[in-house]
């Protein structure tokens, strides 16, 4: 089978080269975008009288027929045609004859592939925003259902201060909200049309790039043809945002793994999101959050892979840039699966309220509040901090918790202590005392939850 570009060559392509350089195994996923770009291009060619209206009609009809076949899964791609562009052009020639050759007037595969990727990234960015929203709704649902549940808050994975579980889970809502905002903002940089830039220097035909941009729904066109065909900043940005997003998903996954352990026993994941052991019948393994955590590495790797590919490339297009696609496609698949799994897993998760409360009732995480108590009695915080440190050490030595110490024991460290210290030490009081903006007091979390719901509705 002769190549569509084979006129200058005297030898057939080495089969090893053909296999090594072909991209059809993965870029066939851009088939619909490729046809959309071609329809816009041929429409513009007709409007600019570069081809006739009848030729444009034949080409568009042929492309629509191929599009239907692709959607039905009835097309066969060949490695001999290298990539999705040449495969579709070959199909089009078989469908409508030599007039198909006029489709490529005034464009190159360089601006064609760039257009495909722009369209693909824009579509997938919008899909990811919707999938993130579903995960956010799951966090809101859990926060709403468990608004009063008290749990330990941690720093250094050591119990620090009692907080509301709803406060903790909503932290992830806001992380994902920033991810959504990053994705939304990135669309304005994806919305640049490279179509019509040619191989690198434009075209001699009187084309109208603004028209193809309009037909494809792009906001603007690249003002520089070299930049148009060689830019992959928008892919890097998508991969960067995806890496941040997966980092957030990995963090909640880590907590789910820890919380569902027998040692913590704070939550139980639904059976449908766990697996068992082939040898230990008692096991219920949190495989989904573990794998979510693990897949973060491949998304990070895809970002660094493309950064490395692009770092030394001269303008304009180079074959190295074929490596821009597999990492992008893999990241999209990974994100899609991760987000689709996380939303129902969070939504169906059982929160073990008693176990969480017991954890804060049997620790020293209310120590800061005794320091604050002494401050309200007029003692400087640093002095109060030292006194409470000594009280905690004493309580540990006595194998008691702070609520188990007597008033006499407290007063042996400071005469400022009175009976009301025990009210200060109650976990509910400790939580509700933190009424500063964004704090863990129920009143503040209720405001935060209302704000989150408003964000979802907006």
Give bridge partners of residue 266 from the DSSP assignment: none
| Structure-block tokens of residue 244 | 């941040």
- 270 & 403 share domain: no
Whose CA is closest to 365, among 154, 148, 167?
154
| Structure-block tokens of residue 358 | 């017991």
Out of 354, 382, 413, a domain closes at 354
Out of 354, 383, 413, a domain closes at 354
Domain of residue 86: give its range.
15-105
- 123 & 237 share domain: yes
- Give the chain's largest Cα–Cα span: 100
The predicted structure's pLDDT at residue 80: 86
Active site residue 338: no
Judge whether 93 and 101 are in contact, CB under 8 Å.
yes
The predicted structure's pLDDT at residue 361: 85
The predicted structure's pLDDT at residue 17: 66
Active site residue 277: yes
The predicted structure's pLDDT at residue 256: 97
* One pLDDT digit (tens) per residue for the chain, 458 residues: 455 556 666 667 677 666 666 788 888 999 999 999 999 999 999 999 999 999 999 999 999 999 999 999 999 999 888 889 999 999 999 999 999 999 999 999 999 999 999 999 999 999 999 999 999 999 999 999 999 999 999 999 999 999 999 999 999 999 999 999 999 999 999 999 999 999 999 999 999 999 999 999 999 999 999 999 999 999 999 999 999 999 999 999 999 999 999 999 999 999 999 888 778 878 899 999 999 999 999 999 999 999 999 999 999 988 899 889 999 999 999 999 999 999 999 999 999 999 999 999 888 888 888 888 899 999 999 999 999 999 999 999 999 998 899 999 999 999 999 999 998 889 999 999 999 999 999 999 999 999 999 999 98
Which of 2, 72, 74, 156 is flagged as catalytic?
A: 156
Structural domain total, the chain: 3
Out of 79, 105, 131, a domain closes at 105
Q: Which residue has the tokens 């291009």?
A: 41
| pTM attached to this predicted model | 0.91
- 303 & 339 share domain: yes
- 274 & 374 share domain: no
Rounded-to-integer distance, Cα 307 and Cα 427, Å: 49
| Structure-block tokens of residue 201 | 């220097």
Q: Which residue has the tokens 């926060």?
A: 143
The predicted structure's pLDDT at residue 368: 85
Cβ-based neighbour number of residue 45 at 10 Å: 25
- 99 & 150 share domain: no
- 99 & 137 share domain: no
Q: Is residue 1 part of a domain?
A: no
Q: Is residue 163 part of a domain?
A: yes
Judge whether 103 and 92 are in contact, CB under 8 Å.
yes
Judge whether 257 and 346 are in contact, CB under 8 Å.
no
- 297 & 349 share domain: yes
The predicted structure's pLDDT at residue 4: 58
First to last CA, the chain: 56
Judge whether 230 and 311 are in contact, CB under 8 Å.
no
- 222 & 300 share domain: yes
- 126 & 99 share domain: no
Q: Is residue 6 part of a domain?
A: no
Q: Is residue 458 part of a domain?
A: no
The predicted structure's pLDDT at residue 7: 62
CATH number of the domain that residue 434 is part of:
1.10.40.30
Give bridge partners of residue 193 from the DSSP assignment: 221
The predicted structure's pLDDT at residue 10: 61
Give the β-pairing of 192-193 and 220-221. Answer: parallel
The predicted structure's pLDDT at residue 1: 47
The predicted structure's pLDDT at residue 9: 62
Q: Is residue 213 part of a domain?
A: no
The predicted structure's pLDDT at residue 245: 98
- 309 & 383 share domain: no
Residue 415 buriedness (CB in 10 A; 0-12 / 13-18 / 19+): exposed
| Structure-block tokens of residue 210 | 């603004």
| 3 state DSSP class of 275 | strand
CATH number of the domain that residue 190 is part of:
1.20.200.10
Q: Is residue 5 part of a domain?
A: no
- 71 & 177 share domain: no
Q: Is residue 184 part of a domain?
A: yes
Q: Is residue 37 part of a domain?
A: yes
Which of 19, 261, 277, 406 is flagged as catalytic?
A: 277
- 197 & 160 share domain: yes
């Amino acid at each position: 089978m002769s190549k569509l570009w084979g006129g200058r060559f005297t030898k057939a392509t080495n089969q090893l080269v053909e296999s090594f350089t072909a991209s059809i195994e993965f870029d066939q996923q851009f088939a619909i975008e490729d046809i959309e770009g071609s329809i816009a291009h041929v429409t513009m060619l007709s409007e600019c009288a570069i081809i006739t209206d009848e030729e444009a009609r034949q080409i568009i009809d042929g492309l629509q027929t191929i599009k239907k076949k692709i959607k039905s899964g009835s097309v066969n791609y060949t490695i001999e045609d290298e990539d999705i562009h040449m495969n579709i052009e070959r199909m089009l020639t078989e469908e409508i004859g030599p007039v198909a050759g006029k489709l490529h007037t005034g464009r190159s595969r360089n601006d064609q592939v760039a257009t495909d990727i722009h369209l693909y990234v824009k579509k997938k960015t919008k899909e990811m925003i919707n999938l993130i929203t579903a995960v956010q709704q799951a966090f809101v649902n859990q926060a709403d259902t468990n608004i009063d549940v008290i749990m330990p808050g941690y720093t250094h994975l050591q119990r620090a201060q009692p907080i509301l579980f709803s406060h903790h889970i909503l932290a992830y809502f806001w992380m994902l909200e920033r991810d959504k905002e990053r994705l939304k903002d990135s669309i304005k940089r994806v919305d640049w049309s490279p179509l019509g830039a040619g191989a690198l220097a434009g075209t001699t035909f009187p084309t109208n790039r603004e028209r193809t941009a309009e037909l494809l729904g792009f906001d603007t066109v690249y003002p520089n043809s070299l930049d148009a065909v060689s830019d992959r900043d928008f892919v890097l940005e998508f991969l960067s945002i995806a890496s941040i997003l997966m980092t957030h998903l990995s963090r909640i996954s880590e907590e789910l793994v820890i919380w569902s352990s027998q040692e913590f026993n704070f939550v139980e994941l639904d059976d449908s999101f766990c697996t068992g052991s082939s040898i230990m019948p008692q096991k219920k393994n949190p495989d989904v959050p573990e794998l979510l955590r693990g897949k973060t590495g491949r998304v990070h790797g895809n970002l660094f892979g493309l950064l490395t590919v692009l770092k030394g490339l001269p303008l304009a297009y180079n074959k190295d840039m074929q490596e821009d696609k597999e990492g992008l496609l893999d990241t999209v698949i990974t994100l899609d699966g991760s987000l689709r799994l996380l939303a129902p897993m969070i939504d169906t998760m059982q929160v073990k309220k008693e176990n969480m409360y017991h954890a804060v009732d049997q620790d020293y995480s209310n120590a800061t509040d005794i320091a604050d108590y002494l401050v309200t009695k007029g003692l400087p915080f640093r002095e109060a901090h030292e006194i409470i440190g000594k009280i905690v050490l004493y309580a540990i030595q006595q194998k008691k918790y702070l609520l188990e110490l007597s008033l006499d024991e407290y007063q042996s460290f400071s005469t400022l202590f009175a009976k009301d210290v025990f009210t200060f030490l109650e976990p509910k009081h400790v939580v509700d005392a933190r009424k500063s903006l964004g704090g863990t007091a129920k009143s503040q979390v209720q405001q935060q939850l209302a704000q989150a719901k408003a964000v979802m509705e907006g």
